[in-house]
Copies of this chain bind each other. A is one copy, B any other.
Amino acid sequence: MGIIVQKFGGTSVGTVERILNVANRVIQEKENGNQLVVVVSAMGKSTDQLVGLAGQITERPSKREMDMLLTTGEQVTISLLAMALQEKGHDAISFTGWQAGIQTEARHGNARITNINPDAIKKELCAGKIVIVAGFQGFSDVQQITTLGRGGSDTTAVALAAALNADKCDIYTDVTGVYTTDPRYVKGARKLEAISYDEMLELANLGAGVLHPRAVEFAKNYSIPLEVRSSMENERGTIIEEETNMEQNLVVRGIAFEDQVTRVSVLGLRNELTTLSTIFSTLAKQGLNVDIIIQSTTSDNKTSISFSVKTGDLEDTISILEQHKSVLNYEKIEFESGLAKVSIVGSGMVSNPGVAAEMFEVLANEGIEIKMVSTSEIKVSTVLSAEDMVTAVDILHSAFELSKEVAKV
């Protein structure tokens, strides 16, 4: 008998009927003899409705009051799920973020968890109760209600699993697991049995969207095995765990991709030690996220810097660069929109130096031009024309034989 943390997202608890369904899933695990902590999000559309109410009052609501408003969403779900479990004959109790002892930084809208005091939860678990906890929310040391930002309920679940020394953390969602690539685009996409934290991080950062990166980081740091699985179908999902536990024979484990990418080039910069840091700290201060960065030096001791941004951030990026032209001291800015990023991810790359070369070759053979490249130990990213994106993913998926079932080790 161990402690299991389960997390159900907004779609899984979107209606009363689904909440009753979630109750059944919870009871099933409870009847396997486990102690259960269940983290839930706000019901489906309720967050949008609350945001809509605020929008009728002001275009720029204070973050503190938005936290106050939005945290009611999960509070509704926890009470309804507790009622559903009680109605089905099981002892259950619901906790808001502050009742569950989830302490965060004293900032609103995107606070990080700083500490969890699990005493209240442990007490109820020992009393045989199923404990339901509101995801996404916490409280600061000055007794303010805070929220954890996007994907916050995942983080709540993993952090609770760490604080409770849980045996595992199951993330129930509207997909059945983590796939080699997006099955909506690639017919041969296959559900993975297992994937490492690092691979999942790379896939999550690249837009796979199943699990929030912060939650994966947390799970990695505390070695909490995660399972991503469907709240609707009763089948096994994908385990996310330490690399050492896993089959090693796959060099590439997944392919991530996203469009709406723009390349920005800042040309004719003076080649000074501080040039790079000045540009990117200026952008970071304005909250702009830059992805792939390439620097090239020309013969006249000038340097050029290219980087990719989300197309939606292009306007702000250009405007900030122009505002700081006197400090940055560049000649001109160019940009190219309509691009996409395609990345192959796999822990096996570390010991397989030819993987990047193979990727470039596969793309070249198809006549696909690579505009930017970035590599890490377990990932190779390429920027290419958005028109080529799906084709590129498709041929890479075949080339690295991702559709094939792999024998268990």
Contacts and interface: CB of A to CB of B under 8 A. Distances in A.
B16 A56 contact: yes
Interface string A89-109: 000011010110000000000
B53 A65 contact: no
Interface in A19-75: 19-20, 50, 53-54, 56-58, 61-62, 64-66, 68-69, 71-72, 75
A80 interface: yes
B68 A145 contact: no
Given A19-B57, A56-B16, A64-B93, A76 B83 contact: no
A50 B65 contact: no
A51 B115 CA distance: 34
A86 interface: yes
The oligomer's copy count stands at: 2
Contacts of A120: 143
A112 to B, nearest CB: 21
Interface residues of A, number: 37
Nearest to A71: B75
A62 B79 CA distance: 9
A145 B79 CA distance: 12
Contact of A79 (B56, B69, B78, B143): B69
A57 B84 contact: yes
Given A50-B76, A65-B94, A76-B53, A83 B58 contact: yes
Interface of A: 16, 19-20, 50, 53-54, 56-58, 61-62, 64-66, 68-69, 71-72, 75-76, 78-80, 82-84, 86-87, 93-94, 96, 98-99, 120, 143-145
Given A58-B86, A65-B79, A69-B75, 17 more contacts: A19-B57, A50-B76, A53-B80, A54-B83, A57-B84, A57-B87, A58-B87, A65-B80, A65-B83, A69-B79, A69-B80, A72-B72, A72-B76, A75-B75, A96-B145, A99-B143, A99-B145
